[in-house]
Structure 1
Amino acid sequence: MRWDNLTAPPVEGVPERAAPATPPLPLALPGATVRTFDTPAFAGMTFYEVRAKSIINRVPGTSRVPFEWTINPYRGCSHACVYCYARNTHTYLDLDAGADFDSKVIVKVNAGELVRRELAAPRWRGAHVAMGTNVDCYQRAEGRYQLMPQIIAALRDFANPFSILTKGTLVLRDLPLLRQAAEVTRVGVSYSVGFVDERLWRAVEPGTPSPRRRLDAVRALSDAGLSVGVLMAPILPGLSDSDESIDATVAAIAAAGATSVTPIALHLRPGAREWYAHWLAREFPHLVPRYRELYRAGAYAPQAYQRELTARVRIAARRHGLYRSEPAEHAEPGESGQGGGPGERGGHRRLTKSPPPPAAEQLSLL
């Protein structure tokens, strides 16, 4: 991705201060405008505002996902999920996959106008567009930059099908736009909720809304007439894979009105693997030998472990009303919440209580 130089106006209503002169701009972001905000929500964070050359990106053909096009208005993510698949992408920008990924966010400030321009191009054929496949488009920065209303409005105006995968509750702000879009095209929303244990949430996903708040958002979206699926992802070995954790999580997902639940075991690719391993050794050192054994062959847990998880989630889903089993589409993991992964090989299944919602086409993340 390339960007033009940018002279951006201040964000209205937000006090700002000049970023420190050092360190210099990342080599991959020449001319970006650098901002920091004097508000508690953005303490320690730096935003690099850029003008992107393009915004609707083609997914590489080698990626086994059920969609070809994505929109990602942000790079980096304040959710700070220790397992996030997208961490390694920050290294492409001369930033690190650890603390930089959590605290240095690239903002494509012209995303809305680019979406409208690219949808109007004669070569565009109205293909499905997936959002939330790199980092969460409803992370905290969206509350300041407000890029998603422009993006959704453009997709609505061109009746272009799309889906959103998120852990953010800010999507409720855009519910009127989503309902308008759903009247003219296919719209899907999926949430990532891997567990409901709040102590674990604070340790593993410290920058996200709590699992209960996410499920409240699932209920609100469902009550508004949208079909909302939940990726039960990632399920963390030794931390959220007990029968008790699985049953409590599935029960909460069913009670929230979700139309499907897709269990996905943790996978650890380069960047995420090192960051998660460091966190695990610090917080749960007794689990290190188990993880070393599970992931000794690479990024994915053994197929036998994945099948066992799926079977136990299926039992819980039937118990709580998500009773019918459907094969999940092949998918690559995404970054808002960790989806896909082993399912590329037919390893996980979507458990539904109604026909699969459009959002289930977007098994990524998160």
Structure 2
Amino acid sequence: MSVEPLGVETPMYDITTGTGDFIADGVVSHNCFARKTHEYLDLDAGHDFDSKIVVKVNAAELARKELASPRWGGHHVAMGTNVDCYQRAEGRYRLMPGILRALTEAANPFSILTKGTLILRDLPLLVEAARVSEVSAAFSVGFVDERLWRAVEPGTPHPRRRLEACRRITDSGIACGVLMAPILPYLSDSPEQLEAAVREIAASGATHVTPIVLHLRPGAREWFLGWLSREHPRLVPRYLELYGRGAYAPKAYQERVSTQVRELARQYGIGRRASWRIQPDKPPPPEQLSLL
């Protein structure tokens, strides 16, 4: 793995985009839809995406500047929605503490989506931020099958380690849910597999679970189907049938899987259990001036 300097300064145009601190995941995730972004830098969406990481080393500085701008409206900032801000390179560059402090100083609401248990390093900062604004987190856990995890998401923390981290975050008073993604057709979508995943998600204390079926955008599509042809060639025709018209599986299939997950979540009580939550401090009421 290498970290590639861009050789030029690039501005942070919009901190609501969720592009994170890194342009690459830094882990071999065959289905990652962010793969296409590497082509914007004249790198390929396959091996380069897995091995070359582009780092915005001044991300915290730019975030603080943007948050202080009169044009900024204090909108919710979603981090990790394109690439993972707690991938392994964060352990070296330590960009997130500065970003979290900037958001806390601005009392700006935010959320973080990650597969990285490194987020626990910054748990005290998250708790501090939650005292002044709305803060939440979520982990991406599409399945708990160990063999499938090793094949599809090598280099990522074990799904159970992610769920243990979810428990620690919720126990700290911060809402933490699970994005059950990706659900892989014919690989992780059987009733037994879905129930196993939801059961462990419920045990983690997750505040909610959101199922998302695999989608294959350009870049990720070619890489994932290449992996599928090597590891599960018999499934290639079925995937081409499901994804023959675009990046998404048919709505009927998505709805069937989502209905199963929602029903399992209801059975296991996800979202029903009361949990202690940090509440942002309310400003003191204005003092009543006395008349002389």
Say yes or no: TM over 0.5.
yes
1:226 to 174, 187, 197: 174
| Mapped partners of 2:170, 2:29: distance in 1 | 26
Which residue does 1:46 correspond to in 2? Answer: 2
Structure with the higher fraction of residues in strand conformation: 1
Which position in structure 2 is the counterpart of 1:291? 239
1:261 paired residue among 197, 205, 209: 209
1:128: Cα distance to partner?
1.1
Which residue of structure 2 lines up, in the alignment, with residue 210 of structure 1? Answer: 158
Residue 248 of structure 1 corresponds to 196
User: What amino acid does structure 1 have at the position aligned with 2:3?
Assistant: F
Q: CA deviation at 1:202?
A: 0.6
Aligned to 1:273: 221
- Matched residue of 1:74: which SS? coil
Contact conserved, 2:19 with 2:83, CA < 8 A, in 1?
no
Give distance in 2, aligned partners of 1:81 and 1:255: 26
Q: Tell me the equivalent position of 2:21.
A: 73
What's the counterpart of residue 317 of structure 1? Answer: 265
| Counterpart secondary structure, 2:4 | strand
- In the alignment, the residues of structure 2 paired with residue 49 and residue 108 of structure 1 have an alpha-carbon distance, to the nearest angstrom, of 9
Offset of residue 56 of structure 1: 5.4
Residues 145 and 167 of structure 1: is their aligned pair in 2 closer, same or farther, counting only changes over 3 Å? Answer: same
Residue 56 of structure 1 contacts residue 115 of structure 1 at CA under 8 Å; is this kept in 2? Answer: no
Give the Å deviation of 1:192.
0.5
Cα distance in 2 for residues equivalent to 1:139 and 1:175: 16
Equivalent position to 2:122, from 174, 182, 194: 174
Name the structure 1 match of 2:272: 353
Paired residue type of 2:125: L
The code of the aligned residue for 2:50 comes to D
- Alpha-carbon offset, residue 101 of structure 1: 0.4
% identity of equivalent residues: 62
What does the per-residue CA deviation read over 1:129-179, in whole Å, with 9 as the maximum and x for residues that have no partner? 111022100000000000000000110011111110000000000000000
Secondary structure of 2:55's aligned partner: strand
Moved more, 200-209 or 120-129: 120-129
The 1-side partners of 2:273 and 2:12 are apart by 34
- After superposition, the CA RMSD in angstroms is 1.6
- Structure-1 separation of matches of 2:13 and 2:119: 20
Segments of 4+ moved more than 4 angstroms: none
User: Residue by residue, what CA displacement relative to the aligned partner does 1:18-76 show, whole Å, maximum 9, x if unpaired?
Assistant: xxxxxxxxxxxxxxxxxxxxxxxxxxx11024574433526xxxxxxxxx543521111
Structure-1 separation of matches of 2:51 and 2:164: 27
Q: Which runs of 5+ in 1 are unaligned?
A: 1-44, 59-67, 323-351, 359-366
Q: Is the 1:165–1:191 Cα contact (8 Å) retained in structure 2? A: yes
Work out whether 1:149 is the aligned partner of 2:100. no
Give the C-alpha shift of residue 221 in structure 1: 0.4
State whether residues 115 and 156 of structure 2, in contact with CA within 8 Å, keep that contact through their aligned partners in structure 1: yes
CA-CA distance at 1:235 after TM superposition: 0.3
Pick aligned residue for 1:100 from 26, 43, 48 = 48
Indicate which of 52, 57, 78 corresponds to 2:14: 57
| 2:134 corresponds to | 186
Asked whether the 8 Å contact 1:230–1:262 carries over to 2, the reply is yes
Task: Give the TM-score, by structure 1 length.
Answer: 0.72
Q: Partners in 1 of 2:22 and 2:244 — Cα distance?
A: 32
Count how many residue pairs are aligned between Structure 1 and Structure 2. 274
SS in structure 1 at match of 2:167: helix
Query: Could you tell me how far apart the structure 1 residues matched to 2:19 and 2:182 are?
Result: 23
**Aligned AA (2:272):** K
Q: Matched residue of 2:210: which SS? A: strand
**TM-score, normalised to structure 2's length?**
0.90
The one-letter code matched in structure 2 to 1:228 is C
Deviation of 1:209 after TM superposition, in Å, equals 0.2
Q: Which amino acid aligns with 1:55?
A: M
Q: For residues 187 and 52 of structure 1, do their structure 2 counterparts lie closer, same or farther at Cα, with a shift above 3 Å needed? A: farther
